[in-house]
Amino acid sequence: MLNDMSGKINTAIIVAAGSGSRLASDTPKQFLKLKDVEILAYSVQAFLEHPQIDAVIVVTSADYLDHVIRHYPDCKVVPGGDTRQDSVFNGLEACSASTDNVLIHDAARPLIPSWVIDSCLSSLETCDGVAPAITPADSMVQIEDSGFRNLNRDSLRIVQTPQCFHLNILKAAHASGKVDTDEMGLVKQSNPQALLGFIEGAPETMKVTRPLDLEIIKNYLDAAEK
């Protein structure tokens, strides 16, 4: 791992403390295997191998702390919290004092191409925060009491991770007492002046949620090997 060419220190925080699984399994999805490799291992490897990432922190639940410490020796491992936001907070607390930028990534998204990380880091040279996002391919509607309303999909985005920020901006958002489901939402709520943007994401950075998602990603990996 080398320092960013801009001289910035970049720390990836992979949140892997969720307990839920809609995948008909007692094992949290980040610890299921995909082609004999744990889902968490894919994103850990992507960040460890990226030349501009200086450190990787994995946040996980008490039940999996020993497992992650044993199997991911190149990462710092810290316990998670009751919510995703609490888990991210613990990851931020574990960042080195020299960290300039943090990249918060869902362990449940195994496929993170290096060009997405490149693109996020170059955006942070001019923005306070950035996340990959993709335009929905399907028609989008909003369900209302009286029926539904069609939305203009060209103006909508599906927001992915890593959600990337200058460390001081994200720490201030956490200190604000606001609550949100992701970091972009939290920073926007707590700091309306923050310069936030989106870069084009990769469809394969989908979050593993349903059993079918595992099959889709497995087929993608098989095709990429050919």
- Please, what is the minimum distance in Å from the beta carbon of residue 108 to ligand C5P? 4
Q: Is 82 in the site for ligand C5P (CB under 6 A)?
A: yes
Sole binder of ligand C5P in the list 10, 11, 12, 18 (CB under 6 A): 18
- Please, what is the minimum distance in Å from the beta carbon of residue 192 to ligand C5P? 25
DSSP-derived letter for residue 197 is: E
> What does the alpha-carbon distance between residue 161 and residue 15 come to, in Å, rounded to a whole number?
11
Q: Is 186 in the site for ligand C5P (CB under 6 A)?
A: no
Residues 6+ apart with CB under 8 A from 86: 80
Which lies closer to ligand C5P via its Cβ, residue 86 or residue 100? Answer: 86
Residues 6+ apart with CB under 8 A from 223: none
> What does the alpha-carbon distance between residue 58 and residue 69 come to, in Å, rounded to a whole number?
9
Q: Is 144 in the site for ligand C5P (CB under 6 A)?
A: no
> What does the alpha-carbon distance between residue 67 and residue 63 come to, in Å, rounded to a whole number?
8
DSSP-derived letter for residue 38 is: E
> What does the alpha-carbon distance between residue 136 and residue 27 come to, in Å, rounded to a whole number?
30
Sole binder of ligand C5P in the list 65, 76, 81, 178 (CB under 6 A): 81
Task: Pick the piece of the chain touching ligand C5P (CB under 6 A) from 4-12, 92-100, 102-110, 118-126.
Answer: 102-110
Sole binder of ligand C5P in the list 12, 13, 17, 199 (CB under 6 A): 17
> What does the alpha-carbon distance between residue 151 and residue 149 come to, in Å, rounded to a whole number?
6
Sole binder of ligand C5P in the list 108, 117, 186, 214 (CB under 6 A): 108
Nearest to 88 by CA among 98, 103, 76, 69: 103
Q: Is 20 in the site for ligand C5P (CB under 6 A)?
A: yes
Q: Is 15 in the site for ligand C5P (CB under 6 A)?
A: yes
Q: Is 59 in the site for ligand C5P (CB under 6 A)?
A: yes
- Please, what is the minimum distance in Å from the beta carbon of residue 82 to ligand C5P? 6
CB atoms within 10 A of CB 106: 23
In the region spanning residues 26 to 45, those forming contacts with ligand C5P, defined by CB under 6 A, are: 30
Nearest to 214 by CA among 136, 222, 101: 222
Residues that bind ligand C5P (CB under 6 A): 15-18, 20, 30, 59, 80-84, 87, 106-108, 207
